[in-house]
């Protein structure tokens, strides 16, 4: 079983719609959680950290469910520019970031 698993997609989303997807992690000792965004053939960039109480950044909402060991990302009012691969990232104690395989989102007019 992979340490961090994501649905690879693609999620085809009409412009203006809402899309949500999850990521599951296997290490119950994981301490920190993030969503990174990666555009085609570019480097990953931090989208947002995920806090235990859930957090929102504009149109993006992240949730953490420690009991079921998953995190989620919801994008409201999708824009064409939201088309990207969204990488779920988990950090246990120490220095290693563990990435999921990514969920591809395609926003279409």
46 binds other proteins (CB under 8 A): yes
Tell me: does residue 4 bind other proteins (CB under 8 A): yes
Site for other proteins contains 22 (CB under 8 A): no
Contacts 24+ apart (CB under 8 A), 4-8: 4/88, 4/89, 4/90, 4/98, 4/99, 4/100, 4/101, 5/100, 5/101, 6/86, 6/87, 6/88, 6/100, 6/101, 6/102, 6/103, 7/103, 8/101, 8/102, 8/103, 8/104
CB of 32 to other proteins, least distance (A): 6
**Interface stretch with other proteins, choices 14-22, 60-68, 75-83, 89-97 (CB under 8 A):** 89-97
Structure token pair of residue 55: 């957090």
Q: How many residues bind other proteins (CB under 8 A)?
A: 23
Distances (CA, A) of 71 to 81, 84, 100: 23, 18, 12
Name the segment binding other proteins (CB under 8 A); options: 4-12, 51-59, 63-71, 75-83.
4-12
Stretch that binds other proteins, among 14-22, 66-74, 75-83, 100-108 (CB under 8 A): 100-108
Give me the residues that bind other proteins (CB under 8 A), please. Answer: 4, 6, 8, 32, 34, 42-46, 49, 87, 91, 93-102
């Amino acid at each position: 079983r992979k340490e961090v698993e994501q649905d690879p997609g693609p999620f085809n989303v009409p412009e203006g719609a809402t899309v949500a997807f999850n990521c599951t992690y296997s290490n119950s000792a994981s301490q920190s959680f993030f969503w990174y965004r990666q555009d085609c053939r570019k480097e990953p960039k931090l989208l947002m950290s995920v806090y235990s109480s859930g957090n929102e950044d504009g149109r993006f909402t992240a949730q953490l469910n420690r009991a079921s060991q998953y995190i989620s990302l919801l994008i409201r009012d999708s824009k064409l520019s939201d088309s990207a691969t969204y990488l779920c990232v988990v950090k246990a104690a120490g220095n290693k970031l563990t990435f999921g395989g990514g969920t591809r989102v395609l926003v279409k007019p």
